[in-house]
A and B are shown apart, each in its own frame.
Chain A
């Protein structure tokens, strides 16, 4: 769809009064501190693009790319502007005029073919196990990588050798009385980087009366593509996933990944597919999509077994993924879920809903800035003295693990569902 005809570009740019409220909430602006990083500046630049005052060139992309797409500005904008949508649309428009082979390879070839993506990461995992990553670091070979990657490659540590899909069946029956049939949207990050989260998700869902269907041919949710100027590819991925999931009779489509549920939400479908023929199908699909923690708290109303344990309680804090708190307004449910777990002492951290700086590929492309944002987050984490940092996003998890390593902190990053799964005594039969 043509850039200038996109609804946010047509309807929202003119609403910006440049009040500057966004300057007070943007984590990137907080570090850079000049107007080129202000969200209202991004809106202004998108307007300049729309009006032909600037050409769609890489330098403009670079400035717009200096944004986490965390949506903090959008939810705080008094004029109701979806700044992140304008930014993403502009990135895509610029990218179309400035395509790159590298991005085509990553986002069109690899990231649209789950098998290829899994194979690539499996090779990386193998290389890590052979000690080649350490070798490359020690011999300075990583310094030959482009851009921020020589420093950012450290974030990509210990990739599990087996993705979740290799360990999960397509159909997982409810244990005990069946209440719902749910489709599990197993996102790339969970599948490849956090397979234990996927195992826990299926375990907890089946224990709580859900038949869990995992379509084998689902693809990426498309969020990395939106963030990297590949909106057309994101549209194709969305259409593919809509067709796949709509072919089953499902009560809900559940994901444990904040980014996936936000990408599959009605709001994002309106952005990607609004006005197209497939719109109704897209809404039928997205209206079934629900974050796992919300599903467990609001739909299942999960009750966990109280057991006498000799172990001491564990101290757990929670980091709000932007794509859950900002994009979907889901803040209370993950906390409520954690509080329902026996043996968990929940402790709130300061600024829990402030971005960790990960934001998918942002930490790889803007490593130094991303680390400044992460360090602020880690300061707040460490004050809590938490044993576990719970969060619902693979990208946040990766970033926070890197933060733990940078700060030599004792804690461990975990998804709430893993704690829920662990809370079932191994000897206790499933419900």
Chain B
């Protein structure tokens, strides 16, 4: 089936309002946030916006019968090219399918379709005193479906972990159009060890095994109180050391974030009202729970961090906490502000290293930045060793691009050398496959076999993860 015939068939199947075929429209789906697609945008043959499992099934059967690639997509906020059709095919834009079907407050769970925006979900859950704890920086725009497909986490993974811990079951449409329900057909239980855990297999599978069309998600009780401590350091090494000190003191914050001097500068340039102090590094500790414990833990952090920090600010005031947390959330893109003729790029941005090696890693990244003559803004979830690096370059200067790609490669190798991983939460996508193979050894081949079992024709999101 050629492209034109495919487009006609899709319009006939779904109606013209749910299908984009115009070449100009298709260009808008040639990118996500990755540097890869900035350099090499790639158009799909068609974009469809299904709103039912049956519609997805029909699309999958059409694609299966005609050997056409399927690329699931949420809000396109990923950083790995994961939702881009590298070699044509049908992009399934699931972001408009955004019904919260049921908030089952008595069973502490929610059933939703993949396009629900993360922040919107938590706004609705708050009405029941519940929340979905993973807290990506892209909360305002990313979809929960995308979070599941990438096993996203974010700023509160220190205490609350990743998306996978909250997924009780999924409805998945497979490449041949079959629909499976993982976690039990009628199950509403929280604990369930029956059968092989296909739910966990699907979470983080980046669309290479099937299309996630429904999500049963566990919710947690919303903490009654929050507080944020900001510790300011004159010496970068003191920041990771303080993280370990706080753990040693018996406190498990809900989030521990680091911003280095460049990240501080970027935040202040974007939102001067946040007014972060100039320093080599800042740590933000968030604690949550009941009011007395929050206050107690806040004081412990203040005391422990105060031993190395120049200053520690403890706040339970809503406005200030929102400012500080927002400051960290927006660092990812505000990093571009540190250079007038530059942009941060999303490449080599997600390494994860052992806690005891965070300081060595940060030092090594600085040295690599110096070696290649590239400014690197460092920030991230230091509490779980997930360091986000933001090289800031002029992406339209080919020489700089060449240099930064070498830097990115070295950063990935550094992560592996440090006994870490090239990706803590953003995924492999199209940009880290070579490193994934290095990380997994023989297991890599078994992953390929699993992929074949679900997708014998290799039509599901080809060129990603595996």
Contact = CB atoms under 8 A, between A and B. Distances in A.
Interface stretch (A15-23, A157-165, A304-312): A15-23
A52 to B, nearest CB: 14
B394 A18 contact: no
A21 B336 contact: no
Contacts of A59: 22, 24
A33 interface: yes
Interface string B76-118: 1100000000000000010110000000000000000000010
B124 interface: no
Contacts of A23: 75, 141
Contacts of B303: none
A48 B23 CA distance: 13
A78 B327 CA distance: 10
B343 A78 contact: no
A328 interface: no
Interface stretch (A38-46, A135-143, A166-174, A393-401): A38-46
B140 A24 contact: yes
Interface in A1-50: 11, 14-21, 23-24, 33-36, 38, 41, 44-45, 48
Contacts of A44: 27-28, 31, 41
A78 B31 contact: no
B47 interface: yes
Interface string B19-56: 01010110111011100011001000001010000000
A416 to B, nearest CB: 26
Given A20-B75, A78-B334, A79-B336, A36 B25 contact: yes
B75 A79 contact: no
Nearest to B24: A59
A410 interface: no
A79 B93 contact: no
A80 interface: yes
Interface string B327-349: 00010111011001111111000
A: interface residue count bin: 20 to 34
B140 to A, nearest CB: 4
B95 A78 contact: no
A60 B20 CA distance: 15
Contact of A19 (B27, B41, B138, B395): B138
Nearest to B41: A44
A80 B337 contact: yes
B323 to A, nearest CB: 15
Nearest to B33: A18
A258 to B, nearest CB: 23
B313 interface: no
B: interface residue count bin: 35 or more
A198 B142 CA distance: 46
Interface in A72-90: 77-80
A80 B341 contact: no
B332 A36 contact: no
Contact of B343 (A17, A24, A45, A48): A17
25 contacts: A14-B343, A14-B395, A17-B333, A17-B345, A18-B31, A19-B138, A19-B333, A20-B75, A21-B138, A21-B141, A33-B96, A34-B20, A34-B47, A35-B28, A35-B29, A35-B93, A38-B28, A41-B28, A44-B28, A44-B41, A45-B27, A77-B333, A79-B333, A80-B269, A80-B336
Nearest to B390: A17
A19 B332 contact: yes
A63 interface: yes
Kindly name the residue among B29, B76, B138 whose own CB sees the greatest number of chain A CB atoms within 10 A: B76
A142 B94 CA distance: 39
A127 interface: no
A268 B337 CA distance: 21
B95 A33 contact: yes
B417 interface: no
B135 to A, nearest CB: 15
A54 interface: yes
Contact of B117 (A21, A24, A77): A24
Given A33-B95, A34-B20, A60-B24, A14 B394 contact: yes
